[in-house]
Chain A
Amino acid sequence: MTYNILVVDDSKLARMAVAKILKVRHPDWNHLEAANADEALAHMKTSKVDIALLDFNMPGRDGFVVASELRQLNAEMPIAIISANYQREIVQRAKDFGAIFLTKPLTEEALHKFLEDVMATGKVGGK
């Protein structure tokens, strides 16, 4: 199964890093990139997005705001919040959003574990 993954991060390098890790195990999946909240929403409207990876620390609307906006468009979509800032309050907040917290810098293992869990729960829509 191929999925569309949306990667939202203001740092181009970070987006590249995620793309690189993704290709290791899922070279056939599509990934969409967004540098900020507006671009992310635009993708949501024009393409089918199955999974979203959001940087927490972005200028303007941060990862949590984007998460809630995405949720309004797709309530069940699996979301991961990525940050080097793993204070317990932030981890908890990610959970409150129904999102998984992943530490930055993102390792191959961490990402793939997340993706496996997502596919296992079957929360990803396959239309």
Chain B
Amino acid sequence: MSENVQDIMDDLELDALTELVNIGVSRAATNLRDMVGEEVHLSVPSVDLIRRKKAVEILSRNDSKLVAVHQVFEGDITGRALLIFPETRSLELVRAVTSGNLPLEDIIDLEQEALAETGNIILNGCLATMANMLQRTFKISLPEILRGDGDLLFNMPPPPESGDVVMFVYINFAIRSRDIQGYIAMLMDMPSLTTLQLLLREFIQRTGGADGASLA
């Protein structure tokens, strides 16, 4: 397997993937907004394909204690999707999505569920959009919360098979003037990655390419 992750997908495919994630996150923002009752800012500064090791490194750089919402997707593409942010910000996130006036103990009590639901909305936003636009179906599991460091999050035992390549997305939330940075990570095995590539090519053809036009 080539060392250089960039060789796996070309620019246009990555562009297409980024566009899908963007649309997915925007949809999620809309859904969140309905729940929260106030404008939700969700933005995606960047989408990268990196090795698992690199992903662990990036996560460990700033925060060793992380909390993640985890969902599994199965279908033509199989893998894990994680919404990750620093544990120190999780209560902030809960405050942001609740009415904000709850006492500390309530926030702590609600944390698990609130995180799970919020994570579910965001991850579903992405995964559903991808499924939709790639014209495929995934079966997506219910959300589960886990806590740990980067190592733990990216080294969960199979099944399902998690590969070495991670689609790593930086996201910024701002809700009720609370600013929270986090990441979305999708772990896929090689066959899934290849399928994803194919699907992306088809997508590009459908939407942007004129018939017979070369995709450079």
Contacts and interface: CB of A to CB of B under 8 A. Distances in A.
A touching B, CB within 8 angstroms:
yes
B19 A20 contact: no
Nearest to A86: B30
Given A57-B26, A85-B30, A87-B33, A12 B44 contact: no
A13 B134 CA distance: 14
A100 interface: no
Size bracket of the A interface = 20 to 34
A84 B19 CA distance: 10
B208 A19 contact: yes
A58 to B, nearest CB: 10
Give the interface centre of A15, A17, A83 by most chain B CB atoms within 10 Å: A17
B207 A20 contact: yes
Interface in B20-52: 22-24, 26-27, 29-30, 33, 39-40, 42-45
Given A11-B22, A57-B44, A104-B23, A16 B29 contact: no
B63 to A, nearest CB: 24
B137 interface: no
B207 to A, nearest CB: 4
A83 B208 CA distance: 17
B185 to A, nearest CB: 20
A105 interface: yes
Contacts of B16: 11, 13
A11 B39 contact: no
Nearest to A89: B39
- Dominant SS at the B interface? helix
B191 interface: no
B26 A83 contact: yes
Interface string B99-134: 000000000000000000000000000000100010
A124 interface: no
B26 A20 contact: no
B33 A11 contact: no
A20 B210 contact: yes
Give the interface centre of A11, A15, A19, A89 by most chain B CB atoms within 10 Å: A11
Contact of A16 (B30, B45, B133, B209): B209
A59 interface: yes
A13 B12 contact: yes
A86 B11 CA distance: 28
B18 interface: yes
Contacts of A83: 26
Given A13-B208, A20-B207, A87-B29, A57 B133 contact: no
B204 interface: yes
Contacts of B208: 12-17, 19-20
24 contacts: A11-B15, A11-B19, A12-B15, A13-B204, A13-B207, A14-B208, A15-B208, A16-B209, A17-B207, A19-B208, A20-B208, A20-B210, A84-B22, A84-B26, A84-B129, A85-B26, A85-B27, A85-B42, A87-B33, A87-B39, A88-B33, A89-B33, A104-B23, A105-B207
A-B residue pairs, 3 tightest by C-beta? A16-B208, A85-B26, A84-B26
